[in-house]
A and B are shown apart, each in its own frame.
Chain A
Amino acid sequence: MNALSRRRFLKISAATFGAGAAATQIPPLTHLAHAAAAPGEVTTVPTFCEMCFWRCAGFASVRDGKVWKFEGNPIDPQSRGRLCPRGSGAPGAINDPDRLRTPLIRTGERGKEAWKTATWDEALTHVAERMQKIKGEHGPESIAMLYHGIGVRFIQHVLKSYGCINMAGASFAQCRGPRDVGFNLTFGQGLGSPEPTDIENTDCLVLIGSHLGENMHNLQVQEFSNAVARRIPIIVVDPRYSVAASKAKYWLPIKPGTDLALLLAWMNVLVTEGWYDRTFVAEHGLGFDKFVEEIKSATPEWAAAETGLDPALIRKTARELSLRRPASLIHPGRRVNWYGDDAQRSRAIALLNALLGNWGRRGGIHIQNGIKVAGYPLPKYPERTKPYADNPNGEKYPFADEQVTTGIREATITGQPYPIKGWFVYSSNIIQALPNRAETVKAIDSLDLLVVVDTVPSEIAGYADVVLPESVFLERHDELQIGWGRRGWVSLRQPVVAPPHEQKPGWWIAKQLANKLGMPEVMPFNDIEEYLKARIEKSGWDWAKFKAEGVILGEKKPTTVEEGVQLAFDTPSGKVEFWSQQLKDKGFDPVPKYTKHEEPPAGHFRLITGRAPVHTFSRTQTNTLLGDLMRDNEVWVNTATAAQIGLKNGAYVQLKNQDGIVSNKVRVKATQRIRPDTVYMVYGFGHTNPALKSAYQRGASVAGLTTKYKTDPLMGGTSIHSNFVTFMVEA
């Protein structure tokens, strides 16, 4: 499969040179937010970050017409004035030499590696013509969208206005979806982003696989660091001695795939010993007796055999948890699609939090507050007449409350329930984001149109029919960031510098596309500032002040019972559902049950994955600042295991998975920091598009080795810790 995909990489880079002549006939972009400054003089412009999806607000400093640095905005609740390394590294995205520069149209057949540079007019005419053809033959529903990022807002709006209905982000089925479904089934509410975890005030924190500190969700890392400084007991459950584990009072080096056994055992201890919050359960719980019956057999001794953890340690940590409730918090995690039963595991985390009675409590899971922002009058979308293709009538994944990327991919391959003939891919390198690359390529083969909007020649851009180069976030306006948290907030994205070539912002691309599709009325403003200003002024705020300060904070409202919140649960019963009738009705376990996962074959190791603080997915490897800090990933192998099989620290190896897929070469990190039966790599590396020059074939791709995956029957999440690898030592 690797050979197949390599053959198909398109030499975008070659096509981008000499493209300066590609003229555009478009209204000029909104001028920049800062006035021209004298040489050496520094001006600052507030905007919010898109280096990841936490979206911190910051101030960009401009010197001699270039972005010098990017720093946090002190009034922003997401960053509290301090950005993470990716935010600080944002200027490196502007300077990335591999950026897409002009629109590109594939010439000849897909896979022939031939491109021509195009004007925006040509490229969008091409896209619109093919869209009209697909709409004429199959209906607008046959054009789907896969996306990630706030910049998609207006392109998505135009597609919806056109009648498209199939749109999914990998942020659901390949990330936080199982967690939100598990919490929704229990408390009647998903958690979203930012997670309402009151780490700042908790007295006991449990992280299960969450590697805060390596995973730089800014506010959470700040609160975690404060928690470490407060010397509260921290319990980290991870097969790897993560940075967080090194700060913990207890590290539980669990056997991967057995977390649910530990969770059930913890609940068993809390219930058996009477250490749970009886008042909370009596007042808000439903089906508690039946729940107790179900977890009766999950003793620490039973769990010990599954997890490899000492039963005494399981009891001891359960005691720690109970002693500090309700200010005792099991972090719900974020990227939780591990084994294909993740919604149920997340539900177990929700239930454990419920036993601690921490919902809506100080130091637990706080109540979120939003902020009301006036809308902008836009025409209504056409009524939906066909079922969603990924999950028709909710029959495939009954508890999915967002669309499923891999469901759209499957519908594209099978043509069921109806053909999918066009894809718009916005800023999401689905070659690495979705499991099993061969299936993605197969789906692409059956498309009549693949449009990729991105800032860099990502791997998916290599497969596109039309590539539309977007400006990076420091060069563009976007939709308002309207956030939920302890306090609601709104932040503004505005251009700090002009894009260096023909790159354009998403809203502009959307407007031109709407014109080409003959529906200019769906984008009824000439310039996005008109739209943003109208929303802000209609909400009663001062536009000039917002432009200068970058953030508006919502009213301060209570977030905990201690501050006066009245708890309410939006489940069918209005209660916290310890035993779930909804699940029972659809044929699932009403209380999570542990099932054993497949073991690695002889000589193989389970491959698990996670993040590095300086990179976001596969998006940042060519950033001049961040790429320089971490060029490659490494494969972590326990020192003893490495010695046994003759792997030297620092030597290059290739990994071969159970299906015979061989990775790119990757350096061995022989370390005490991981279980002997497990190997670990940071994902997002091993790029296969040669146009990403500084990242091309640097390190190995976790996604490339993820050929086997399980799909969560509740909500369509796909597992990524379900592959086994062996080592091929280079001669």
Chain B
Amino acid sequence: MARFGMVIDTARCVGCMDCVVACQTENDVPTGFCRDWITTEVRGTFPTLTMEIRSERCNHCDNPPCVQCCPTGASHVEPFGKTVQVTANRCIGCKACIASCPYDARFVHPKGYVDKCTFCLHRTKEGKDPACVSVCPTHCMYFGDLDDPQSTVSQLLTARKWHTLLPEAGTRPRVFYLT
């Protein structure tokens, strides 16, 4: 079974937020919330600067603290693609997962359950890319099976320099940023 991951080329990304809008329409994310977002990190002093722009979301960690702390099993690892998912009708809204997530990827949906990026499970089950990946005008995002050495994501991680977010948290995140 596949182990889905995302590889995002920060060199290509312009931070336009198309990924954010596309996620909101695709997944009917309520106004005022988002499952993905843009972070801009500037280093240096004028005029010697560097900047990294990242499209961020749930990292679908291999070692997900949100799943481990969930008292009801609502947060779980889905067998399909080994992604981290929330079963809305098992969620009691205790927010333990929100507290445990080092990426601040989760929020309480106005309907009372915890919500976050699903890697567009409904699309990936149909063999499509997640909405953010499929709309990105800069083609900066790649999605695929990290366990398949022939997949684009695996190939990119072999060929290019990359980093993940907060590797020190020990969560083994599966969203990778090419630099």
**A residues touching B (Cβ–Cβ < 8 Å)?**
68-72, 79, 82-85, 88-89, 91, 212-214, 216, 218, 221-222, 224-226, 228-229, 241, 243-244, 246-247, 251, 253, 613-614, 624-626, 628-629, 638-640, 671-676
Q: Which residue of B lies closest to A212 (CB)?
A: B14
Asked if B138 is an interface residue, CB under 8 A from chain A, the answer is yes
A222 near B53 with CB under 8 A, answer: no
- B135's partner among A88, A638, A671 (CB-CB below 8 A) is A88
A222 near B25 with CB under 8 A, answer: no
A216 near B46 with CB under 8 A, answer: no
- A214's partner among B14, B20, B134 (CB-CB below 8 A) is B14
Asked if B127 is an interface residue, CB under 8 A from chain A, the answer is no
Query: For window 18-56 of chain B, which residues contact chain A by CB distance below 8 Å?
Result: 18, 20-22, 24-26, 31-32, 42, 44-47, 49-51, 53
A83 near B14 with CB under 8 A, answer: no
Given A69-B26, A247-B11, A225 and B139 contact (CB-CB distance below 8 Å): yes
B14 near A225 with CB under 8 A, answer: yes
Q: Which residue of B lies closest to A623 (CB)?
A: B21
A629 near B50 with CB under 8 A, answer: no
Interface size, B (range):
20 to 34
**B residues touching A (Cβ–Cβ < 8 Å)?**
9, 11-12, 14-18, 20-22, 24-26, 31-32, 42, 44-47, 49-51, 53, 131, 134-140
B44 near A672 with CB under 8 A, answer: yes
B137 near A222 with CB under 8 A, answer: yes
B25 near A68 with CB under 8 A, answer: yes
B14 near A243 with CB under 8 A, answer: yes
Q: Which residue of A lies closest to B52 (CB)?
A: A246
Nearest 3 CB-CB pairs, A to B? A213-B14, A225-B138, A613-B16
- CB contacts (< 8 Å) of A85 on chain B: these are 16-18, 20-21
A243 near B135 with CB under 8 A, answer: no
- CB contacts (< 8 Å) of A216 on chain B: these are 16, 137
B18 near A83 with CB under 8 A, answer: yes
- CB contacts (< 8 Å) of A226 on chain B: these are 139
Query: Would you mind naming 23 contact pairs between A and B with Cβ atoms under 8 Å apart?
Result: A69-B22, A70-B25, A82-B18, A83-B18, A83-B137, A85-B18, A213-B14, A213-B15, A218-B137, A221-B16, A226-B139, A228-B12, A243-B51, A246-B50, A614-B21, A629-B17, A629-B20, A640-B46, A671-B42, A672-B44, A673-B46, A673-B49, A675-B46
Distance, CA A71 to CA B137, complexed state (A): 11
- B18's partner among A84, A224, A673, A675 (CB-CB below 8 A) is A84
- CB contacts (< 8 Å) of A89 on chain B: these are 21, 25
- CB contacts (< 8 Å) of A247 on chain B: these are 11
Distance, CA A70 to CA B18, complexed state (A): 12
B17 near A614 with CB under 8 A, answer: yes
- CB contacts (< 8 Å) of B51 on chain A: these are 241, 243, 246, 673
Distance, CA A299 to CA B32, complexed state (A): 54
- CB contacts (< 8 Å) of A638 on chain B: these are 46
- CB contacts (< 8 Å) of A83 on chain B: these are 18, 135, 137
A613 near B45 with CB under 8 A, answer: no
A672 near B21 with CB under 8 A, answer: no
Given A91-B25, A222-B138, A243-B15, A229 and B50 contact (CB-CB distance below 8 Å): no
